[in-house]
């Protein structure tokens, strides 16, 4: 599988990364998926301290204990699980980040994290303090690089201007083109990579979309609009590629996109995602067609 340089870092990530949140907590189901990922040439594994209350990091730690240096592990921080409550709170403070990284390192069974990401972010955060925490962790060698996971244009602008992030993870698909408004051009200009999640829009951009479409629709699309655009896409690519392949290749066609993070709950799903990434790139005509029939979504407020 092809690899891309992540921003200005010396990390080269596979075009498809495995989103580990859907692996569950049982080795007997998770390990075969991780094995298949390695067989497909995937070297980029994305998790978070929040997933299964830390058990996801532990799972990866056990699996990669003998080949840690062969893979790139990305995890996230900022969401603090509340043991006595049903949920979590947000904490982007320097003290929390520097304390929490120790816990993630222990769970992952490693002495460094390749990519440490802020798991969100708001303009109300103590941004300078947050950046300081990540920079100090880099200096200490505890993390190699850092990035953010955010869809908020104003937050992204602040980190581009004030930090040395190498990547931004964001939701992006044919049905959610909001990043094209601000984020993609800005990040491309500053040599910061984009890692996309949700490329198939909760299964809507897949051959099984008819089971997924409801009257509620999706983002700016009503149920009828959604059904119409999906049918049009399916007809367009019927003889060339699946809807999933078209969706994933649309993401990869954008200049700053280095990798797509997709989850998999089975080996078969993992291999299907890998096949989609390895399929032929979209032609200029196909890209134009997709942009003409889909909505160029914008953010209501640049937060």
- Residues with catalytic function: 51
Torsion of CA 24, 25, 31, 34, to 10 degrees: 50
Q: What phi and psi, each to the nearest 5 degrees, are found at residue 73?
A: -105, 125
Torsion of CA 48, 50, 51, 55, to 10 degrees: 100
- Enter the tokens of residue 119: 């798991």
Name the H helices within the chain.
27-39, 55-63, 94-108, 127-139, 153-162, 183-189, 223-237, 243-252, 267-278, 284-293
Q: What is the CA radius of gyration of the chain?
A: 19
User: How many residues can be counted in the chain?
Assistant: 303
């Amino acid at each position: 599988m092809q690899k891309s340089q992540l921003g200005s870092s010396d990390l080269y990530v596979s075009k498809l990364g495995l989103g580990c949140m859907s692996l569950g907590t049982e080795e007997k189901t998770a390990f075969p998926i991780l094995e298949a990922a390695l067989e497909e040439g995937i070297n980029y594994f994305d998790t978070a301290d929040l997933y299964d209350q830390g058990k996801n990091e532990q799972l990866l730690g056990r699996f990669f204990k003998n080949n840690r240096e062969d893979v790139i592990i990305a995890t996230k921080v900022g969401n603090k699980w509340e043991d006595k409550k049903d949920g979590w709170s947000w904490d982007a403070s320097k003290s929390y980040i520097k304390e929490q990284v120790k816990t993630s390192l222990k769970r992952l069974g490693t002495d460094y994290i390749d990519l440490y990401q802020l798991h969100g972010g708001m303009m109300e955060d103590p941004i300078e303090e947050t950046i300081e925490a990540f920079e100090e962790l880099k200096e200490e060698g505890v993390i190699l690089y850092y990035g953010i996971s955010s869809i908020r244009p104003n937050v992204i602008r602040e980190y581009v201007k004030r930090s040395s992030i190498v990547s931004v993870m964001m939701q992006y698909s044919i049905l959610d083109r909001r990043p094209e408004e601000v984020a993609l051009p800005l990040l491309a200009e500053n040599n910061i990579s984009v890692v996309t999640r949700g490329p198939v829009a909760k299964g809507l951009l897949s051959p099984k979309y008819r089971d997924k479409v409801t009257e509620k629709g999706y983002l700016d699309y009503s149920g009828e609009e959604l059904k119409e655009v999906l049918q049009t896409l399916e007809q367009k690519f019927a003889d060339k590629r699946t809807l999933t392949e078209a969706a994933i290749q649309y993401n990869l066609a954008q200049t700053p996109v280095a990798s797509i993070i997709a989850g998999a709950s089975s080996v078969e799903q993992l291999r299907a995602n890998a096949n989609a990434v390895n399929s032929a790139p979209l032609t200029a005509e196909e890209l134009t067609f997709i942009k003409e029939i889909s909505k160029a979504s914008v953010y209501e407020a640049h937060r």
